[in-house]
A and B are shown apart, each in its own frame.
Chain A
């Protein structure tokens, strides 16, 4: 299908059917890999539904080519699946360092995001530089501690802190207007 992205943004149902037809095998593979064993098939199905609903409702937030669309959908699938897994396992950790903080976009101090803002960063993550994308999703979408992120990315905790500090203003800007392409 030609111009699938612009058609998706115009809410053409055929474009949605095309996107499901093309990317569902990929989304299902990601959801299965993360959720099938620990949570079961219902969670896989819920994840797939959530991903395509998010894509349909937020296609206007996507910027990029069809190749980048695949990456966007894949990353949404991965993080939504992990989020479902963590909720299911009741492993959600709201660490103390987050709990009393307020969001302050103006100063770039971005310490804790509400549910809506978390969803927004997931959908706008392709505006972030690739090197920081997963780090920010782990921190602000999944609410992982810096130690957990360091372990997952194979870097030191101080490297995580350093990157988060450098990236906060950029992230704040994306969340407050989102129109500017960064990186």
Chain B
């Protein structure tokens, strides 16, 4: 009881803060955001759903506003200097062209790609209101009715009255890769991070996306280091992305929530090109095991082989696993 009594008598107001590294904070942030039940993805737009009783949504536009909405290739052009993700985006994207206006803010879902693992959407916003450099929305997009997953969002102010953005989502598809996915989105406000202004509105979108052509390649990779085992059963290759599927088995003192490392994969080809990781998603399968996917931009370098090196790392150390090669074309 003495030990417990001491704990119970701890006065939280008098405790001296401990040092916490950037890495530790990042790990907790990732843990919370990736936690299944309440995961909240970043915020995006999609296409029109003519839902009754939703309120003030109007689906027509003045010609002036419509003419300002950029074309798909114009949207990704804004981000090409920062990432290799969009090099072949236009070649595989499907036009969605769904526009909704509410409270003087027009949001268009311009086009999208579903590659069997991830969904990428481009969107544009047109408004006289100041939404700041990186506007965000209050509601996550749902894929097949669920919000679980991870996402990466790029947004940019294009002019005083227009904004462009791209979001890449990795939904939790429970190990499946359905031929189509249903996307729904119903944001109720847009937030200006810079001024903390919140602009309420009512937009509603719903549409389906078909999977683009995917080439599945077996890797059958397995390696163990320091008590960790990494498996890579296969890769899915499209003209737009490379999706690597993996599993990790951890020592019995670790689970996903207290894993002191970040998982990563270095992907190169025989010409020495490095492939950029776009997004990833990992979830626990059992207490000491997890599985997930890493998505890389396909730069279509004419390569025949990819050389992949799994690793576990943190600020202080790195565990490098054996590299393996995957033949992607003969």
Mark contacts of B196-236 with chain A using CB atoms, 8 A cut-off: 1 yes-contact digit, 0 otherwise: 10100000000000000000000000000000000000000
Given A10-B138, A28-B18, A49-B258: A57 in contact with B37 (beta carbons within 8 A): yes
* Cβ contact of A12, chosen from B10, B12, B191, cutoff 8 A: B191
Min distance, Cβ B284 to any Cβ of chain A, angstroms: 13
Contact A74 B13 (CB under 8 A): yes
Give the dominant DSSP class at A's interface: helix
Asked if A86 is at the interface (CB within 8 A of a chain B CB), the reply is: yes
Contact A78 B25 (CB under 8 A): no
Asked if A177 is at the interface (CB within 8 A of a chain B CB), the reply is: no
Asked if B32 is at the interface (CB within 8 A of a chain A CB), the reply is: yes
Asked if A156 is at the interface (CB within 8 A of a chain B CB), the reply is: no
Contact A52 B5 (CB under 8 A): no
Mark contacts of A8-40 with chain B using CB atoms, 8 A cut-off: 1 yes-contact digit, 0 otherwise: 001111101100110011101110111000100
Min distance, Cβ B1 to any Cβ of chain A, angstroms: 7
Closest residue of chain B to A78 (Cβ to Cβ) is: B12
Contact B17 A26 (CB under 8 A): yes
Contact A25 B20 (CB under 8 A): yes
A48 vs B13: C-alpha distance when bound (angstroms)? 17
A32 vs B253: C-alpha distance when bound (angstroms)? 18
Contact A82 B25 (CB under 8 A): no
* Cβ contact of B32, chosen from A26, A53, A71, A81, cutoff 8 A: A53
Given A25-B18, A42-B253, A148-B1: A56 in contact with B28 (beta carbons within 8 A): no
Min distance, Cβ B248 to any Cβ of chain A, angstroms: 17
Min distance, Cβ B287 to any Cβ of chain A, angstroms: 12
Q: Which of B13, B18, B33, B189 has the most CB of A within 10 A?
A: B18
* Cβ contact of B12, chosen from A10, A20, A25, A75, cutoff 8 A: A75
* Chain B neighbourhood of A24, CB < 8 A: 20, 24-25, 28
Mark contacts of B1-21 with chain A using CB atoms, 8 A cut-off: 1 yes-contact digit, 0 otherwise: 101110111101101111110
* Chain B neighbourhood of A10, CB < 8 A: 138, 189, 191, 198
* Cβ contact of B257, chosen from A49, A82, A91, cutoff 8 A: A49
Mark contacts of B145-184 with chain A using CB atoms, 8 A cut-off: 1 yes-contact digit, 0 otherwise: 0000000000000000000000000000000000000000
* Cβ contact of B15, chosen from A30, A56, A138, cutoff 8 A: A30
Asked if A96 is at the interface (CB within 8 A of a chain B CB), the reply is: no
A144 vs B12: C-alpha distance when bound (angstroms)? 20
Asked if B64 is at the interface (CB within 8 A of a chain A CB), the reply is: no
Contact B42 A49 (CB under 8 A): no
Contact B12 A30 (CB under 8 A): yes
Asked if B193 is at the interface (CB within 8 A of a chain A CB), the reply is: yes
A11 vs B258: C-alpha distance when bound (angstroms)? 24
Asked if B117 is at the interface (CB within 8 A of a chain A CB), the reply is: no
A65 vs B196: C-alpha distance when bound (angstroms)? 18
Chain B residues 34 to 72 lying within 8 A of chain A, measured CB to CB, are 35, 37-38, 40, 42
- How many residues of B are in contact with the other chain, CB < 8 A? 38
A73 vs B9: C-alpha distance when bound (angstroms)? 17
Contact A91 B4 (CB under 8 A): yes
Closest residue of chain B to A75 (Cβ to Cβ) is: B12
Asked if B271 is at the interface (CB within 8 A of a chain A CB), the reply is: no
* Chain B neighbourhood of A13, CB < 8 A: 33, 40, 42
Contact B10 A78 (CB under 8 A): yes
Contact A49 B28 (CB under 8 A): yes
* Chain B neighbourhood of A16, CB < 8 A: 29, 32-33
* Cβ contact of A152, chosen from B5, B15, B20, cutoff 8 A: B5
Asked if B31 is at the interface (CB within 8 A of a chain A CB), the reply is: yes
A30 vs B3: C-alpha distance when bound (angstroms)? 15
Asked if A45 is at the interface (CB within 8 A of a chain B CB), the reply is: yes
Given A30-B12, A74-B12, A77-B12: A25 in contact with B32 (beta carbons within 8 A): no
A86 vs B1: C-alpha distance when bound (angstroms)? 11
Given A24-B24, A25-B18, A42-B258: A71 in contact with B33 (beta carbons within 8 A): no
A136 vs B96: C-alpha distance when bound (angstroms)? 55
* Chain B neighbourhood of A21, CB < 8 A: 25
Asked if A46 is at the interface (CB within 8 A of a chain B CB), the reply is: yes
A86 vs B35: C-alpha distance when bound (angstroms)? 25
7 pairs from A and B in contact (CB 8 Å cutoff)? A16-B33, A20-B29, A30-B10, A33-B10, A48-B28, A49-B28, A53-B32
- Shortest 5 CB-CB contacts between residues of A and residues of B: A25-B17, A74-B12, A152-B8, A29-B18, A28-B18
Which residues from chain B sit less than 8 Å from chain A, CB to CB?
A: 1, 3-5, 7-10, 12-13, 15-20, 24-25, 28-29, 31-33, 35, 37-38, 40, 42, 136, 138, 189, 191, 193, 196, 198, 253, 257-258
Given A29-B15, A34-B7, A78-B10, 7 further pairs, Cβ under 8 A: A11-B138, A12-B191, A13-B33, A14-B193, A21-B25, A53-B31, A82-B4
